[in-house]
Structure 1
Amino acid sequence: MQMPHLRRALASTVLLATVTAVTAAPPGAHANGSTVAARAAVGATAADTSVAVDVRAGLATVPDTAIGVNHAIWDSELGTPAVSDLLKNAGVGMVRYPGGSYADIYHWRDHTAPGGYVAPNTDFDTFMAGARRTGAQPMIIANYGTGTPQEAADWVRYANVTRGYGAKYWTIGNENYGNGHYGTAWEADDHADKSPKEYAANVVAYAAAMKAVDPTIKIGAVLTTPGNWPDGIVGAGDSGTWNQEVLARAGSAIDFVDVHWYPGGSSAAEALTKPEQIEDAVYLLRQQLDSRIGISLTETNVGVGPNTQPGALFLADVYSGLLEQGVFTVQWWNVHNGIGTVSTVAGHTDYGDFGLLSSGNCTADGTVCEPPLNTPFAPYHALSLIGSFAKPGDQLVQAGSDNSLVSAHASRKANGDLAVLLVNKDPDHEHTVALNYHGWSPTGQVPTVDSFTNGAAGITRTTGGTAGLQVLPAYGISMVTLHPAAAETGLPKAPGRPVITTVSDRTAEISWPAATPGSKPIAKYEVFRQHGGASEQLGETTGTSITVRNLEPGRRYTINVLARDTAGGLSRASLPLTFTTTSPAAAPCSVRLRDTNDWGNGFVGEVQITNNTATPVNGWTLTFSWPTHWQSVSSGWSATWEQTGTTVRVTSDGTLAAAGSTTAGFVGAYSGPNVLPAVFTLNGNVCTTL
C-alpha cells in the first residue's frame, strides 16, 4: 500500500499491545444448515445469469505456496497454536514475516524494531514454529531500509544452516518505492540515495551475500503493480520508472518479484469491480520480466468493508484471479491488525480491521468492541473456501459469466472433479445461474455446495440444485463441486507449455513438448484459443508444432494445447501461452504512440503519424481502441479528438504529405493497468505500429 500502510500498522500495534487474551471458540469451518439447500432446490426458477466453464482453457496449476497471509511482530498472537490451527484449517501454505513496513526497521538477531512496537513471543523461531504447525512455507522480508547485506546473510545462515528451517523465499525490503523518492515517504530507508538505481544495486549485493550462504534460496525484489502508484512515474534523476530501473540493474540477480495491490474504491460496489483489472495488471508485469522470474503478491485487502461481506467477496475473486494468472502466492494483509473506523456495511458492523481474525480490542473511547480474540471475520471464511477450491496441484480453468455482478472461477481436481466458485456481488438480490460445460460432462448426481452468506458465522455445506442450475444468495459465495460423467483413467498427460516460434500480424508459429501417452497412443494435438467460457479451436496436427492463421493484428491471444488419443480420449489442457500479434510489417501508414509524461493515473500522449505512400493524404482519420474501459482521452490538440465507448477517433482536414509525418497530442486518464493500444488504422488502413 502507499502512505496509509505504515500508519495503519503503527496504530494497530498500540491497540494490539493492550489486548486482553480472551478464550474464543471460533465458528466451525463447515457448519450444517438448510438455507442454501432450500434455495438451491428452486430448480424451476428461470436463470438470469449464464456461466460457461471450459476445461480446455487451462490456466495455472495451483502451487503449494498459493494461499498466503501476513504475520507481524506487533501481533502478540503470532505463532500461537490457536492461530496456527485456524490458518491450517483454511489451507494456508505460505506465511510472511516480520510484517509489512516493519520489515525495514526489524533486526532479527536481537528481535528489535526501533521506532515500532514488538510484541512478546514474536521472534523468528516462534514464527517458524507457528509456520510449521500450519504446514506453511515462510516468506521472509530482509531488512533493506535500516539493514545490511551481511545482516540478511546472517539470517539466512541462522535459518537454514544453524536451524535447518529450509526457508526458501526471501524478499529484499518492503514497498521501498515509498521512501520519499517520488515525493511520499512512509517506508524507512537510511540510504542517502533513495533512487531505484540504489535499491537495485543493493538487491544485487544482498542476493550475492545471501546466496553465498545458501545458493538454493530464492531472492525477490520489490516492484510496483501496473496501474498502481508509482507505476508509470519517472523520478528525478531517473531514466525510467521504478520497475524499469530495478529490473535493468538487478533482474539477473533475482528469482521473483514482490508486488502489493490495494485497489481501493469509494464504495463496496466499486471496490468489488477491481478484480477485473487483474488479468491486465499481471500481463503488463510479465511483459517487463524475464520468463524465469516468478510473481508474488504479498499484500492485498479491500477498500471498503474489510471485516464484512465485501471483504469476503473481494478475497474470493482476487485470490482466484491472481492464481489463475500464475502468481505463485497471494497473501492477505493481515492475520490480526486492530480496530479502526467502525461503520455498518451490508447490514453488519465493520470494525475497519484489516485482519482476518479479531484482535478483541475496543475503540479508544470504549464504546465499540470487536468480537472475542481470534474470532474469524468474513474474509477468513472466504479464505477457507479458496483453500478448498484451489488446492495444490489443482488445475484452474477458465469460467465466464454474462452478469457483471456474478463472477465465476473453476478448478479441476486430481480425481477428475470440477469445482465452480460463484461470487454474487449483488447485495440485494439472489441470482439464478445456468451452468454450461465445455470439454467436460458432469454426472447426474446432485452437487455438493459450500456457501458463505452475508452475516453467516461460517461455511454451510449442503447438496442442492443441479449441475446445470444453482441459485446464489445475495452477497454470497458458493463453491459447487461436481463429479465427472466418466472416470478419467488411461488418458494422455497434458502436453508441455507451448511457446511462440515466430509471430506476425496474421499468423503465429507455435510448438510444444509432446504429451506422455496414456493407455492408447496419441493420435493428434488440438489447439484452442481461450474465448470467454467457451474456447475456439484454431487447428489440429499430428506433430508438436502448428502455424495458426487468420489472426487479427495487434490482438492478445491465449492458447492451450490438448492431446487426443486413438480412442478419442482427451488430455487435460497444457499450461497457457499468451502472445500479442504484431502490426503489419509493411503498411501505407505508420504510427508511434509515446507516453511522454505519466503521473500514475494519467499521462500526456504523443501520436506521430507517417504517410508511407508516394501520394499525399488530404484529410485523415486515425482510429484506435483502448484495451480497457477504464482508459480514456481527457483532451487533445493538433487534431479533433473524440471517444465513443473505448474507441477513439482523431480527425484532421490537414494534408499528410507523401512520406510525410504529423504529430498530435492528448491527455489520457486511467484508473487501472494502462495497456496501450497495439493497432491503429488511418482512413481504414491498418498501420505499422512503431
Structure 2
Amino acid sequence: MQLRNVLLPVALAATVGAVALPAPAAAATGPALTVDATAGRHAISPHVYGMNFADEALARDIRLPIHRYGGNHTTRYNFRADTSNRAADWYFENIPNDNADPASLPRGSETDRFVEQDRATGSETVMTVPMLGWIAKERARSCGFSVARYGPQQSTDPWTPDCGNGRKPDGTPITGNDPEDTSAAVGPQYVTDFVNHLKSRFGGAADGGVAFYNLDNEPDLWHSTHRDVRPVGLGYDELRDRTYEYAAAIKAADPDAKTLGPVGWGLNSIHYSGLDQDVCGRTGCWSNPPDRAAHGGKELGPWYLEQMRAYEQRHGTRILDYFDIHIYPQQAGVHNSAAGDAATQQLRLRSTRQLWDPTYVDESWINKPVRMIPRMRELVDTHYPGTKIAMTEYSWGAFGHLNGALTQADVLGIFGREGLDMANLWTAPRSDEPVAHAFRIYRNYDGKGGAFGETSVRATSADQGRLAIYAAERAADKALTMVVVNKTGDDLSSPLALTGESAGIAQVWRYSGANLAGIVREADQPVSSTGFTATFPANSVTHIVLPRGDGNPPADTEAPTAPGKPTAGAVTATSVALSWAPSTDDTGVAGYDVHRVEGNSTVRLGSVTGTAYTVTGLAPDSAYTFVVTARDAAGNVSTASPGLPVRTAPAPTGGCRVTWKTNSWPGGFTANITIANTGTTAIDGWTLAFDFPDAQQRLGQGWSATWRQTGTTVTAGSMGWNGRLASGASTDVGFNGTWSGHNPAPTGFTLNGRTCAD
C-alpha cells in the first residue's frame, strides 16, 4: 500500500539514550470555519452514497443505500442467456456469466443474483436496460471482429486470439462486419420482458423490487464502444425516440419504477449528440456541429429535457425521472487507479471544485468552468421542472491511497451540500481500501451504524482548498455532525464558529495516515455555545459529532398555507396560463407545484418559484382541472389550492402540415420532419409519402417510422407509439441520407393520400 506524500503525526518530544528527539512542530494557522445550524437546511438524499458492483460485505458494512448494475457490458445484456457483450472494453466479445445454471435461466442469472444481494443488504437497485436494439445472441462465446473472417488486426485477445479489436494492423477501423456475428436485434418488448421477469422474482418497485432503471449506458458513445453493431453516432431525434419507446415500455410494465437518462458519459453529453461527437471527432466541426444546427442550435441536454417534458404534457405520463450524466475528471492522471506524484495528488484534491465552483476553470482540455451539479440543476429547473439529477458513474481514482480517500470524502460532502439526488461510484473499492473508509466516515464511522446527518446545514470554510467542512443534523438524535477534510500536508489549527447550538462535549472520529486500516476514536472535544478551536492533522478526515443541546432550534415541521385558487389568463387550444395568490410559511415558501386533477389523484406538471405557470401540450376543446401546492425548504407540502376547471379552445380547422429541415455535408445529410395534424379530428395511423427531386438522393437509416424507398419515392409508416395524432398534435421523424450532385428538398408531401401544407 502506498504511503508516499503522507505526513505522519510527529511523536511527542522524548529521549532515546542520550539523544534528544525534536519537539513537534506547532500547527499552522488554518482557515476559519463556520457552521450555522439554522441556515441552509435541506435534505441530503441517501442515494448520493451509492456504488456500482459492491461486494455484499462492504454493502452491509456501509449500509449501501443504492447499488447500480451498469457499464458498457450491460448495453447488450441478454437476461435469458445471462450473457453480455464486452464491446470495446474487451474485443467486442460475448461472454456468458460463469455462475449461472443454464438449465434454470433466466432464474439465477447475474442480474437475479445482483438484486438478491441488494434485498439482503437493504440496498435499492439501479438496473440498466438495453436500448441499443441489439443484445448478445446466445449463451456462447463469440466476437464481433473475427480474425478468420475480417483479417489480421492491431490487437487480439491473448486467451481467444481469433477475437480482434476491430482495427487493421495500421490502426484503421474495420468496416462492414456483420452485427449478427455476436448479436440479435430486439426492440422495446425485450425490455418489457426483462422488467416482467424481475417483477416475477422480486415484485414491482412499490413492493421492494427493482426501483430504478437506467436507460442504457452512455448511448452517445455507442459509435465507439459498440461500433461493431452501431458504427454511426446517435442523433438528437433517435435518442428521443428510443427514450420514448423504451422508457414507456418500462413504465407500462412497472408504473412505480423510476427511469434515468440519457446516461451520458460527461460534460460533452450535455453539449453534443452522439452523432455530433462522431462527425466532429473526425472532422473538427465542434464550433458548428451539424446535428445541433439541425435542431435550432440548441445543445442536446436542454433539448432532450424539453422533449421529455413534451411527452408528459402530451400523454400525461412522466417517462424520465432523473437527468443522469456521468462525470470522470479529465485532468491528467486524476481518475487513474494510482495516486500519482505529488502534483497529481494536489490536482486530484483541487479538481473536486468542478462539481460546484463557478470560479474554477477546469484544468484539462475542457478549460472552462464546469460546475456540474448546479449546471444540471439549472437545466432541469428550466427545461423539465421536477426532474431529479444523478451521476450514476463517477470516480476520482486512487482507491488504494490516502489521497483518494481525502478526495472521496470531499466529493461525498459536496454531493450532500449541493443537493445531488443520486450518485454511484464506479466501481466499488475493496473493503480494506482507503476510499472505502471515506464512505465509512459518512455511513458507519464507529462500526455501529454511526452516520452523518440527513439534513444539510450551512457550513463554510475561509479556504475550502485547504480545509473543507460539511455539516448536517441527524434525524435520530438531532446531533450536529461535521466532517472536516484537511487537504494539506500541514497540521492546521482553526477556529470553528457555531450558530444555533448549545455547549457540550463532541465525539471525534478520524481517518488519516496515522492508521490507514480504519477510523480512530480521538479525544472528545469541548464545545462552547459559540464554537471551539481544534487542530486537524495533515491529510486527514475528521468527523465531529455534537449531541443536541437544549438551545437547538426545533425542526421545521409546519407546512405552508394553501395557495389561492388559480385563475386562467390566456387559453388556447393547447395551453392555459395560470396564476394564483401566494402561500405563507413560518420559514418561507420555497416553490409551487402545479398539478392536473385526474379522478382521485393528480399529475404534477411542473414547478416554479413564482406564482404563475403556463400549462402546455393540452388537447383542444378538452376539459381540465388544475390545482397548486406550496412547499418550504424543509420539504413540507401544503394542502392543494381549490381546483380551477378550464376548457381549452377548439383546434383550428385544416388538414395536415409537414415541416422539412435538413443539415447537409458533402455526400450526406440528416432530414428532420415534423408531421402536424391541423384538422379537427384525430388521425389513427399514418403514411407519409414524398419524392426526392434528384435520382441520386438515397434514403439511409431512419427513425420513428418504417421507412422505404422505391425509385425516387419515399414512404414512412407510423409506429405503434406515434400513430395516433390528436387534433393539433404533431410528431417528429427523420433519417440519414446520401446525395451526389445536389440535395434539393422535396416539394410536396402527402399524408394518407392527402396533400399537406409545407
TM-score over 0.5 for the alignment? yes
Please list the CA deviations of residues 103-128 of structure 1 after superposition, one character each: whole Å capped at 9, or x if unmatched.
11211221101325454336122111
Q: Secondary structure at the match of 1:272?
A: helix
Q: Return the alpha-carbon distance in structure 2 between the equivalents of residues 178 and 416 of structure 1.
A: 46
Q: Return the alpha-carbon distance in structure 2 between the equivalents of residues 462 and 200 of structure 1.
A: 54
Please list the CA deviations of residues 489-540 of structure 1 after superposition, one character each: whole Å capped at 9, or x if unmatched.
87652656999x9xxxxxxx9998666xxxxxxxx54799xxxxxxxxxxxx
* 1:445-594 matched pairs, under 5 angstroms: 445-453=505-513, 456-467=516-527, 468-486=532-550, 493=557, 525=587, 574=634
For residue 458 of structure 2, the aligned residue among 398, 418, 429 is: 398
Please list the CA deviations of residues 317-337 of structure 1 after superposition, one character each: whole Å capped at 9, or x if unmatched.
1122122222222211112xx
Q: Secondary structure at the match of 2:37?
A: strand
Structure number, greater radius of gyration: 2
2:189 corresponding residue in structure 1: 150
For residue 481 of structure 2, the aligned residue among 410, 413, 419 is: 419
Matched, 1:214 2:254: yes
1:376 positional shift = 1.7
**Alignment CA distance shift 1:154-1:513 (3 Å):** farther
**Alignment CA distance shift 1:68-1:446 (3 Å):** closer
Q: Return the alpha-carbon distance in structure 2 between the equivalents of residues 241 and 60 of structure 1.
A: 31
Is contact 2:30-2:467 (8 Å) kept?
no
Mean CA deviation greater in 191-200 or 205-214: 191-200
Q: Return the alpha-carbon distance in structure 1 between the equivalents of residues 233 and 561 of structure 2.
A: 42
Q: Secondary structure at the match of 1:216?
A: coil
For residue 324 of structure 2, the aligned residue among 242, 252, 258 is: 258
**Alignment CA distance shift 1:494-1:62 (3 Å):** farther
1:246 corresponding residue in structure 2: 304
Please list the CA deviations of residues 446-488 of structure 1 after superposition, one character each: whole Å capped at 9, or x if unmatched.
4333434466111112233443122222111111111233165
Q: Return the alpha-carbon distance in structure 2 between the equivalents of residues 260 and 474 of structure 1.
A: 31
Q: Return the alpha-carbon distance in structure 1 between the equivalents of residues 427 and 261 of structure 2.
A: 21
Gaps of 5+ in 1: 1-25, 27-33, 72-77, 336-355, 358-374, 502-508, 516-523, 529-544, 548-571, 577-690
Q: Return the alpha-carbon distance in structure 2 between the equivalents of residues 153 and 321 of structure 1.
A: 37
Is contact 2:9-2:537 (8 Å) kept?
no
* 1:75-90 matched pairs, under 5 angstroms: 83-90=55-62
Q: Return the alpha-carbon distance in structure 2 between the equivalents of residues 225 and 104 of structure 1.
A: 14
1:173 corresponding residue in structure 2: 216
Q: Secondary structure at the match of 2:64?
A: coil
**Alignment CA distance shift 1:330-1:309 (3 Å):** same
**Alignment CA distance shift 1:246-1:231 (3 Å):** closer
Please list the CA deviations of residues 272-324 of structure 1 after superposition, one character each: whole Å capped at 9, or x if unmatched.
11222223322221222122111121111115x33211211121111221222
**Alignment CA distance shift 1:116-1:318 (3 Å):** farther
Gaps of 5+ in 2: 2-7, 14-23, 86-92, 100-108, 136-186, 277-289, 313-318, 333-343, 357-370, 567-578, 591-608, 612-631, 637-758
In the superposition, the TM-score normalised over structure 2's length comes to: 0.51
1:436 positional shift = 0.8
Q: Return the alpha-carbon distance in structure 2 between the equivalents of residues 223 and 154 of structure 1.
A: 22
**Alignment CA distance shift 1:154-1:37 (3 Å):** farther
Q: Return the alpha-carbon distance in structure 2 between the equivalents of residues 495 and 51 of structure 1.
A: 32
- Paired AA for residue 244 in structure 1: P
**Alignment CA distance shift 1:498-1:93 (3 Å):** farther
1:120 corresponding residue in structure 2: 98
- Paired AA for residue 299 in structure 2: T
Q: Secondary structure at the match of 1:327?
A: coil
For residue 348 of structure 2, the aligned residue among 257, 271, 277 is: 271
For residue 443 of structure 2, the aligned residue among 379, 384, 387 is: 387
Q: Return the alpha-carbon distance in structure 1 between the equivalents of residues 413 and 509 of structure 2.
A: 18
Matched, 1:306 2:395: no
Q: Return the alpha-carbon distance in structure 1 between the equivalents of residues 581 and 521 of structure 2.
A: 44
Please list the CA deviations of residues 177-222 of structure 1 after superposition, one character each: whole Å capped at 9, or x if unmatched.
1123xxx556776486621321221111012212111111111112
Is contact 1:105-1:188 (8 Å) kept?
no
- Paired AA for residue 493 in structure 1: T
Q: Return the alpha-carbon distance in structure 2 between the equivalents of residues 178 and 172 of structure 1.
A: 14
Matched, 1:92 2:183: no
Q: Return the alpha-carbon distance in structure 2 between the equivalents of residues 220 and 323 of structure 1.
A: 20
Is contact 1:225-1:260 (8 Å) kept?
yes
1:410 corresponding residue in structure 2: 471
Q: Return the alpha-carbon distance in structure 2 between the equivalents of residues 207 and 309 of structure 1.
A: 41
**Alignment CA distance shift 1:454-1:178 (3 Å):** farther
For residue 282 of structure 1, the aligned residue among 370, 373, 382 is: 373
Q: Secondary structure at the match of 2:239?
A: helix
Is contact 2:406-2:438 (8 Å) kept?
yes
Is contact 2:490-2:537 (8 Å) kept?
yes
1:241 positional shift = 2.7
Q: Return the alpha-carbon distance in structure 1 between the equivalents of residues 582 and 522 of structure 2.
A: 42
Q: Return the alpha-carbon distance in structure 2 between the equivalents of residues 460 and 510 of structure 1.
A: 55
Please list the CA deviations of residues 81-109 of structure 1 after superposition, one character each: whole Å capped at 9, or x if unmatched.
xx312222113111101x31111121122
1:66 positional shift = 3.3
**Alignment CA distance shift 1:546-1:201 (3 Å):** closer
Q: Return the alpha-carbon distance in structure 2 between the equivalents of residues 494 and 329 of structure 1.
A: 27
1:46 positional shift = 7.3
1:553 corresponding residue in structure 2: none
Q: Secondary structure at the match of 2:478?
A: coil
Q: Return the alpha-carbon distance in structure 2 between the equivalents of residues 458 and 50 of structure 1.
A: 28
Matched, 1:200 2:269: no
Q: Secondary structure at the match of 1:179?
A: helix
1:106 corresponding residue in structure 2: 77
**Alignment CA distance shift 1:388-1:201 (3 Å):** same
Higher normalized contact order (CA 8 Å, seq sep 6+, divided by chain length) = 1
Q: Return the alpha-carbon distance in structure 2 between the equivalents of residues 117 and 497 of structure 1.
A: 58
Please list the CA deviations of residues 141-186 of structure 1 after superposition, one character each: whole Å capped at 9, or x if unmatched.
1012225321111111111244325211101111111123xxx556
**Alignment CA distance shift 1:193-1:278 (3 Å):** closer
Please list the CA deviations of residues 355-391 of structure 1 after superposition, one character each: whole Å capped at 9, or x if unmatched.
x01xxxxxxxxxxxxxxxxx52110010111214895
Percent identity, aligned pairs only, is: 20
Q: Return the alpha-carbon distance in structure 2 between the equivalents of residues 513 and 332 of structure 1.
A: 40
1:55 corresponding residue in structure 2: 37
Please list the CA deviations of residues 229-256 of structure 1 after superposition, one character each: whole Å capped at 9, or x if unmatched.
3443462333233323422323443111
**Alignment CA distance shift 1:392-1:221 (3 Å):** farther
2:386 corresponding residue in structure 1: 292
Q: Return the alpha-carbon distance in structure 2 between the equivalents of residues 466 and 498 of structure 1.
A: 45
**Alignment CA distance shift 1:144-1:546 (3 Å):** closer
Q: Return the alpha-carbon distance in structure 2 between the equivalents of residues 113 and 431 of structure 1.
A: 51
Is contact 1:143-1:152 (8 Å) kept?
yes
1:432 corresponding residue in structure 2: 493
1:62 positional shift = 2.7
Q: Return the alpha-carbon distance in structure 2 between the equivalents of residues 162 and 84 of structure 1.
A: 20
Q: Secondary structure at the match of 1:261?
A: coil
Q: Return the alpha-carbon distance in structure 2 between the equivalents of residues 410 and 510 of structure 1.
A: 37
Q: Return the alpha-carbon distance in structure 1 between the equivalents of residues 413 and 580 of structure 2.
A: 28
**Alignment CA distance shift 1:295-1:154 (3 Å):** same
